[in-house]
Structure 1
Amino acid sequence: MSQTFKPFLLQLLGGFALMLLPVHARDDQPGFISIDCGLAGNSSYTENTTGINYETFIDTGERKSIWPEYSNRYQQPYTSLRSFPEGKRNCYEINVTDGYKYLIRSSFVYGNYDGQNKVPEFNLHLGANLWSSVKLESASTITHKELIHVPRRNYIHVCLVNTGSGVPFISALEIRPLLNGSYVTKGESLALDIRFDTGQNANLTSYRFPYDAFDRIWNGYYDNDWTQLITTSTIDNSNDFRPPEIVLSTAATPKNKNGSLEIRWLPSDNVTEYYVYMHFSEVEKLPGNQSRQMYINRDGELFRSSLVLEYLSTWTIYSTEAQSSGGQYNFSICKFENSTLPPILNAIEFYMVKEFLESETNQADVYAIKDINPQESYPWTCPQAD
């Protein structure tokens, strides 16, 4: 049964300003809210590289444009912004369907819009809860803050909070409905740390909508010790995560046929717990005398055992409860001794746990793997490559 989403409404709360106006979802973008925060009031457009329809209705705050030397690097929603020099806290209120899962993305490009060439710092809140501190690397860089959240009310507040280190601003605010069976946690919200398309070569490319039905942004990743496998065949990506076919159509595999895929991750926050999601699809049709049998270690200990992929099918392996953080983590995707082919990986995501004040509903935890019944005495350490 298809999901039905209630109409979305937008308002900005700041000073005495209060606006309540409809935000429209296009038929090919069901449930999408796409706000170009720097767009002139009561106007809209279709972004020509994604086909996403952006709107805005806000006339509080100050509408600004980034400098031309920066604007030609970005899609249209990121070439203007709305700053809030007045008030300590300014919030967008967005009506949602309580109990459904959403991706919430706030985007920021400073672009020296004020001519001060001084990048501000401020806080981003979801309601009364700290979501993240916004600290841009430079005037030219874009920063996305992305959250997966199940609201317990029929609205959310996305708020910019002045911390005394510059005027808060926002370039774009995007809300995307997800399938409730994806990104299952014990009730926590998830803040994106990294999302990589690991099957790319050195010519890195990013993908989002329309390649990704949920408009997640997949950044390319390349490792000198890896090589690329490619298929042009259609991949069945119909699990709850729906990783895009274009991402699944390439896979990383070690150049050394007896090697493993080594993934080293240093969390941006070494205190918070995290969840990891690994996406796999077998892109090679294996003859009867070949096999690809894998297992996954985390810091030398077994994380997932006995993974065998079906040709052109999609498998997502993930932690079913929050993992402890505290430093660099090393994941190894290894081949079994009797496997004739090395391991592969198509994409990977890491999320930091966010505990918000609202109570959340526990959800069942499931993951999709195919068990090949390894011996219990198997030494779960990746063999050394020749």
Structure 2
Amino acid sequence: MSLSIVLLWVVSVSLLAHSQPNPRGYLLDCGAGKQSGSTVGELKYITDEGFTSVGNITTLKTPDLVPILSTLRYFPDTSARKYCYVIPVVKGGKYLVRTTYYYGGFDGGEEPPVFDQLVEGTKWGVVNTTEDYANGLSSYYEIFVRAMGKSLRFCLARNKHTKSSPFVSAIELEYMDNSLYNSTNFNKFALTTVARNYFGNQGDSISFPDDKFNRLWQPFNDTNPTVESHSNITSSRFWNVPPAKAFSHAITTSRGKTLQIQWPTMLLPSAKYYISLYFQDNRTPSPYSWRVFDVAVNGETFYRGLNVTTSGVTVYSTQWPLSGQTQIALTPANGMPVGPVINAGEIMQILPLAGSTLNRDVEVMEDLARTFNDPPSDWSGDPCLPTENSWTGVACSYGEHVRVVALNLTGMGMSGSLPSQVSNLTALNHL
């Protein structure tokens, strides 16, 4: 599912107050061509040239766009099974990948195309920005994933609903500290963002540098009363290091009442989710500034007897089943002089990884693609996975280890010599 943000007009972007270095990683302005890239606030984006060898670029005619939305890269080759970016990373590192899309009618149509996005050998999800675009919004998607090699491969691919060229406006790759979300086994799973909100505030989104990892926290309000915090917190003491600004306000209710929040607002597919909730007693610190309440999600106990002080606390679950509407209920302990309170929350869907082709085979195939002139445009990314997006002319085996077993290069119009490294394809039985 997509997340939307009012990034359309320049005046809607809050400028960052202090000069800060970029987060660790890459911020790619797709379609910027040979230009140096763009600046949003004080975040500096670079061109995506050199990270992909396929696709065309264009500049949108819509006036006054945020710079990273004014250009895009699109992929018109209907014969290709996928279109990939290859981005250098630290092997074993944990990364936030954020992709941003703004259609702008680049192909002369009225509605954006619908297509898939992939990370390594796993189908991440479907990109459908139709509703956001109709409402004048750009769309973004986020996934937390571990890099299994020295490069991370992000790809777009057509599906049965794709009517025109897949496209992308921006790609961000942020390195995460090992402590973040470390209860998740990232060798087997990825986390895709469903919602990340701070409660009780009508302000702008929170991002870098307030969140040093450049996560986006959107404001959330409902009909419950809100309160302002009168105590400071040290975010580094919290699990997952939420930004201090996320604790500036909170949602609460009256003494003795259960606080009920319908969050997130959208219906969720039946799956397992990572849920992290953040709390702080908003009063001035004193021996009496604490409150105790139970936390329930859809009627099931999430945490019993949570003691919330002015120092704050995080509670989380790594594999919580959700389906449809989500209801959070905070029920105060008997005799509490104040009602429950909640400041922020994150929900991410658990995405099982489909695996990847044996890294040695991937490296050999990438060498092969560089050696030949005019290789197929889908000769990038994982050569075997997902199975419906394997490289043209490449056959694989899908046992305990995914291996390249055959190459059929007939009729592809390529020229060049086979590199000596092809002998490292030890499962190859047909060429």
Q: Which TM-score band applies after superposition, normalised by the shorter structure?
A: 0.7 to 0.9
Name the CA distance, whole Å, in 2 between partners of 1:101 and 1:226.
38
Note the aligned Cα RMSD (angstroms): 2.3
In structure 2, the CA distance between the partners of 1:230 and 1:65, relative to structure 1 (3 Å rule), is farther
In structure 2, the CA distance between the partners of 1:268 and 1:129, relative to structure 1 (3 Å rule), is farther
Q: Is the aligned partner of 1:134 residue 2:130?
A: no
Task: Please state whether the residue corresponding to 1:322 is helix, strand or coil.
Answer: strand
Name the CA distance, whole Å, in 1 between partners of 2:178 and 2:275.
17
What corresponds to 2:370 in structure 1?
none
Name the CA distance, whole Å, in 2 between partners of 1:316 and 1:151.
27
Summarize the alignment of residues 288-327 of structure 1 with structure 2, pairs less than 5 Å apart: 288-289=287-288, 291-311=290-310, 313-319=311-317, 321-327=318-324
Q: Is the aligned partner of 1:64 residue 2:58?
A: yes
What corresponds to 1:55 in structure 2?
46
Q: What is the CA-CA distance between 1:84 and the residue it aligns to?
A: 0.9
Summarize the alignment of residues 1-386 of structure 1 with structure 2, pairs less than 5 Å apart: 28-47=21-40, 49=41, 51-58=42-49, 60-68=54-62, 71-72=64-65, 75-86=66-77, 87-136=80-129, 137=131, 138-139=133-134, 140-163=136-159, 164-183=162-181, 184-187=183-186, 188-200=189-201, 203-231=202-230, 234-238=232-236, 239-254=238-253, 256-264=254-262, 265=264, 268-289=267-288, 291-311=290-310, 313-319=311-317, 321-358=318-355
Name the CA distance, whole Å, in 2 between partners of 1:249 and 1:185.
28
Q: What is the CA-CA distance between 1:343 and the residue it aligns to?
A: 1.1
Name the CA distance, whole Å, in 1 between partners of 2:124 and 2:288.
51
Contact 1:263 1:332 in 2 (8 A): yes
Name the CA distance, whole Å, in 1 between partners of 2:300 and 2:157.
42
Contact 1:190 1:353 in 2 (8 A): yes
Name the CA distance, whole Å, in 1 between partners of 2:257 and 2:86.
51
Name the CA distance, whole Å, in 1 between partners of 2:37 and 2:299.
52
Name the CA distance, whole Å, in 1 between partners of 2:109 and 2:256.
54
Q: What is the CA-CA distance between 1:180 and the residue it aligns to?
A: 1.4
Task: Please state whether the residue corresponding to 1:115 is helix, strand or coil.
Answer: coil
What amino acid sits opposite 2:120 in the alignment? G
Q: Percent identity?
A: 26
Name the CA distance, whole Å, in 2 between partners of 1:290 and 1:103.
36
- 1:221-278 residue CA offsets vs partner (Å, 9 max, x unmatched): 11112222233x5421113422111111222212x33323212246654222111111
Name the CA distance, whole Å, in 2 between partners of 1:240 and 1:76.
34
For structure 1, which runs of at least 5 residues remain unmatched after alignment? 1-25, 360-386
Which structure features the higher share of helix residues?
Answer: 2
- 1:331-382 residue CA offsets vs partner (Å, 9 max, x unmatched): 21221112211111111111111111238xxxxxxxxxxxxxxxxxxxxxxx
Contact 2:293 2:332 in 1 (8 A): yes
Contact 2:295 2:328 in 1 (8 A): yes
Q: What is the CA-CA distance between 1:57 and the residue it aligns to?
A: 4.2
| Pairs aligned (count) | 323
